[in-house]
Structure 1
Amino acid sequence: MPHESTVPKQDTEVTPQESSAKRSPEELDRLTRLYDSFQPLWLTETIQLGPLYPSDKDRNALLKHLNDPRVYSYLIGPPNPYTSNDADNWISGRFDRMTKQGIPLNAMLRDMAKDEQIIGAVQVSDISDDNLEGDDVGYWLAPEYHGQGLMAKALKLMLQEVSISKVGKRKFNATTFEGNWASRRTLEKAGFVYQPDIHKKAVKAGKELNLWIFRLVLTEKDIAQREVIMQATPLSSLAKSSMV
């Protein structure tokens, strides 16, 4: 069964030192407080969509899932094998993937009923609409959570709450490996349209593979008429559950 995922190339080029050097201590403090104040979104009564944290728990979750062939085989960007250094660089660069308002562009799916464990990720872009190349969205999901509609809802929520309302994006590009029907269905549920006349390739494990290209172009009228994705109501026992 194809994995329901596609991910832009990982921003692992940003090292902790480079990330810190880009911002003053005051700016880092401001962004840290904004980041930590982000209110997670609830996909189901037990699954939450929220920030990535610099914790051993989150690092170990990334190592577990991104070294799982059922996940990484369908991802374009992350290296394989995925190392602790890759995870640390990814986590440290989170402040370089925020909107101007301090909203994270990367969000993790967590099963709050299972020790708040990361089970997937979704990210969006703040790249200008003038540049429809690469990927404006990306995602992966642990195989045991497939078939529940989680990723489609997570993607739509991130587009609604971050890309459209906070970033102001109206045009989006996305890619997935040819034949990844699960990912194609996820993108189409979010409004993306397959572009049969655009042909691109990507190299994976030394092999050149064909990509499917998708576009989402919204007018203000489209946005006004777009379905509003509502959050779920969490179980009362989890409603005040603390993050990592």
Structure 2
Amino acid sequence: MVDVTPNITLLPEHHPEPTPVSNKRTPEEFERLAKLHDSFKPFWLTETIQLAPWQHTDQDKDTLIEYLNDPNIYRWLIGPPNPYLSSDADNWLSGRVDRMTKKGTPLAYAIRDMTKGGKAVGCVAVSDESDDILTGDDVGYWLSPEYHGQGLMARALKLILQEVAIKEVGKRKFNSHAFAGNWASRKTLEKAGFVHQPHMTMKFGRNGEEIDLWVMRLYLTEEDVSKREVMVEATPLPSLVQ
């Protein structure tokens, strides 16, 4: 395998994005997709945790500002600006329709604690890029430190890969990165089937510093897909079902 060592800024780890296509959509089509996005039926990750699309609400905006300015989260992310401003949150949330598959399924999901009124405590996202494009991140995620160590992110990543990227988009090749030394992130990717590529190296620049990245890849054959563990949605607590 070829060793590559470019100094490159990659797509944001916390929410990888497809090429924006909103400028190609009519206002009517944009409105239709926005309604479809905002009414999307969430996935239940646990009996109290949902995976649901991000909404352009004050609650979700405040959450992004809170967590993406948290040094415990930001230090492991490639993409978001720092400090992360109100305008940054507005811009990202207003682009929610651009982060949808051709069939109208969202690509970026908030991890919501329904015991806290649906407050977002993390994010997991996939890309609908072609399998021929393996330079950025096909998956991205972050999670509030309060929820670490529970296996939530690995389960969330597997479920969204299964239901969106593999089943709907039809992707079979995935590329991702973890900061060298971020073993928690690497183990999360490995639990989802990603394999570290030791002979491939990648760097990106931030604040005049070059940061090493681990290159992680997942290649699936049709046989692999058929044998892949099926992630089953959890049954929510009856008190949380509206």
Confirm or deny a common fold (TM above 0.5). yes
The equivalent position to 1:225 in structure 2, one of 212, 227, 235, is 227
Aligned twin of 1:38? 40
Instruction: Give the deviation of 1:36 after TM superposition.
Output: 2.4
Deviation string 1:167-214 (CA, Å, 9 cap, x unpaired) is 000000000110000000000000000000101101133210111000
1:64 aligned partner: 66
Matching residue of 1:187 = 189
Which of 117, 121, 145 is equivalent to 2:119?
117
After superposition, residues 63-82 of structure 1 pair within 5 angstroms as: 63-82=65-84
Residues in 1 aligned to 2:232 and 2:29: alpha-carbon distance in whole angstroms: 33
Partner secondary structure for residue 213 of structure 1? strand
1:155 aligns with 2:161: no
TM-score, L = length of structure 2? 0.91
TM-score, with length taken from structure 1? 0.90
2:204 corresponding residue in structure 1: 202
The sequence identity of aligned pairs, in percent, is 60
Structure 2 distance, partners of 1:10, 1:107, is 11
Asked whether the equivalents of residues 15 and 126 of structure 2 are also in contact (C-alpha less than 8 Å), the reply is: no
Q: Which amino acid aligns with 2:206?
A: K
For residues 214 and 206 of structure 2, what CA distance do their matches in structure 1 show? 14
1:147 aligned partner, one-letter code: G
Confirm or deny: 8 A CA contact 1:8 1:135 kept in the other structure.
no
Q: How does 1:136-151 map to 2 (within 5 A)?
A: 136-151=138-153
Partner Cα separation in structure 1 for residue 203 and residue 117 of structure 2: 39
Return the letter of the residue paired with 1:132: L
Alignment match, 1:3: none
The Cα shift of 1:38 comes to: 1.4
Match for 1:166 among 165, 168, 175?
168
Distance 1:203 1:185 in 2: 24
Evaluate the alpha carbon distance shift between residue 63 and residue 73 of structure 1 in structure 2; reply closer, same or farther with a 3 A threshold.
Answer: same
- Residue 37 of structure 1, CA deviation: 3.0
> Take 1:22 and 1:89, find their aligned partners in 2: how far apart are those partners?
18
How far residue 22 of structure 1 moved from its aligned partner, in angstroms, is 3.7
- Deviations, residues 56-88 of structure 1 (Å, cap 9, x unaligned): 000000000000001001101100000011000
Amino acid paired to 1:46: T
- Equivalences, count: 230
1:50 aligns with 2:52: yes
1:102 match: secondary structure: coil
CA RMSD across the alignment: 1.6
Equivalent residue letter for 2:13: V
* Secondary structure in structure 1 of the residue aligned to 2:81: coil
CA contact under 8 A between 2:14 and 2:140: conserved in structure 1?
yes
* 1:140-192 deviation line (CA, Å, top 9, x unaligned): 00000000000000000110000001100000000011000000000000000
Residues in 2 aligned to 1:172 and 1:59: alpha-carbon distance in whole angstroms: 29
Show CA shifts across 1:7-43 (max 9, x none). 16766x97xxx94x44212101220232123111111
Q: Which consecutive unaligned segments of at least 5 residues does structure 1 have?
A: 1-5
Deviations 1:187-242 (A, max 9, x none): 000000000010110113321011100000000000000000011111101122xx
Distance (whole Å) between structure 2 residues aligned to residue 31 and residue 96 of structure 1: 9
| Native 8 Å contact 1:49 1:107 kept in 2 | yes
1:89 CA drift (Å): 0.5
CA distance in 1, matches of 2:141, 2:27: 31
Moved over 6 A (4+): none
CA distance in 1, matches of 2:74, 2:192: 22
Please tell me whether residue 128 in structure 1 is matched to residue 130 in structure 2.
yes
